[in-house]
Amino acid sequence: MTALIDSAGPAALPAWEVPAEIALTLLGGAAGWWLSGPLPPAPGARTAPPPGVPLLPLAPAQRAVYAVSAWHPRSPVPYDQVLFASVRPRTSGMRTGGMIGGSRGWGYVSGRGPVLALRLTDGREFLYSTRDAETAAALVNASLARARGGAGC
C-alpha cells in the first residue's frame, strides 16, 4: 500500500491479473452450473380441461390429427405439460409474422385473427396462429380429456 502512495502515476496491473480473473469467473460459473444439477421437470397435468373451454366430443374411434409445418421452427410442447387449450383474441401485444417470446409465454403468430393458446403447467402460454383457433382448441381439449379420463369424450 505504501508503494501506491509514493508512485508518480497509477500503478500498473500485473500481467497475470486479468487472465486470472477471467479464469476464476469461468471456473465459478462452471462449478455453479455443475452443483445446481439439471432443471427439474415441469409438473405433469393429470386433470381434464376445466369447464367453459372449447371442447369437441370425440367418439371412441375418432382421433384428432395434428400437422407440423416446415415453414417455421418446431416448438414441441409435451401433452402432459398442457393444462387446457383456449382461444385468445388478437391483442396489440402480439406481433405479426414470427416467433414471440417472453416470461409469460412464447409461440408463433402469423395472422390477424384469434390464436390458439395452450396453458402450460408452469403458468406460461404457448400461442399459435391457425385458421380456425376455436376448432383447434376444441380438438386439443377433447384429446386431453380423453387421455386424462375426463367427461365429455
pLDDT tens-digit map of 58-110: 777 666 555 555 555 556 677 788 899 999 886 545 555 555 667 777 777 77
Mean pLDDT, range 116-121, rounded to an integer: 88
Q: Report whether 14 contacts 3 (CB < 8 A).
A: no
pLDDT: which is higher, 106 or 133: 133
Average pLDDT in the 51-63 region? 73
How far apart, in whole angstroms, are the C-alpha atoms of residue 56 and residue 66?
A: 15
Say whether pLDDT at 24 is over 90: yes
Question: What is the reported pLDDT for 21?
Answer: 93
Give alpha helix (H) positions in the chain: 2-6, 17-36, 133-147
Residue 13: inside a domain, yes or no? Answer: no
DSSP code, position 131: T
Residue 149 lies in a domain: yes
Range of the domain at 135: 42-153
Q: Classify residue 63: in a domain, yes or no.
A: yes
Say if 127 falls within a structural domain: yes
Q: At residue 124, does pLDDT exceed 80?
A: yes
**Which whole number is the average pLDDT over 127-136?**
86
- Which residue carries 401485444 as its cell? 93
Q: Is residue 72 part of a domain?
A: yes
- Residue 4 confidence (pLDDT) above 80: no
What one-character DSSP code corresponds to residue 54?
Answer: -
Burial class (CB in 10 A: 0-12, 13-18, 19+), 79: middle
Answer whether residue 95 is part of any domain: yes
Quote the mean pLDDT of the chain.
Answer: 76
Structural domain count, the chain: 1
Of 118, 122, 104, 106, residue with least CA distance to 43: 122
* Band (14; pLDDT cuts 50, 70, 90): confident
Helix (H, G, I), strand (E, B) or coil at 69: coil
Distance CA 18, CA 29 (A): 17
pLDDT surpasses 60 at 151: no
